[in-house]
Amino acid sequence: MNPMKNAEGYPDFTAGISIRDVGKEEQEVVAANSKLIMAFRTCADLAGFEIVGRITLKHKASGRIFR
């Protein structure tokens, strides 16, 4: 279904724009998580360590948990 149309097929630009914006925010959170994990790995490597287990993170604003 086209996000710019409602269930009946009529244009619904407000909902479409909102859905698009939420998708962008979600991508930003995932990208920030990836950068943070890489920073942890780099710090551990510089200190002569290696991360061998999972790192669990919780995004404060959204509450999403990354495992």
Partners of residue 5 on adjacent β-strands: 11
pLDDT digits (tens, 9 = 90+) for 48-62: 999 999 989 999 988
Residue 10 Cα distances to 20, 30, 47, 65, angstroms: 18, 32, 58, 36
pLDDT digits (tens, 9 = 90+) for 11-51: 777 777 777 777 788 888 889 999 999 999 999 999 999 99
pTM exceeds 0.75, yes or no = no
Phi, psi for residue 50 in degrees, rounded to 5 = -135, 135
What are the residue ranges spanned by the domains of the chain? 13-66
Neighbouring C-beta atoms of residue 59, cutoff 10 Å? 13
Q: Is the pLDDT of residue 3 over 90?
A: no
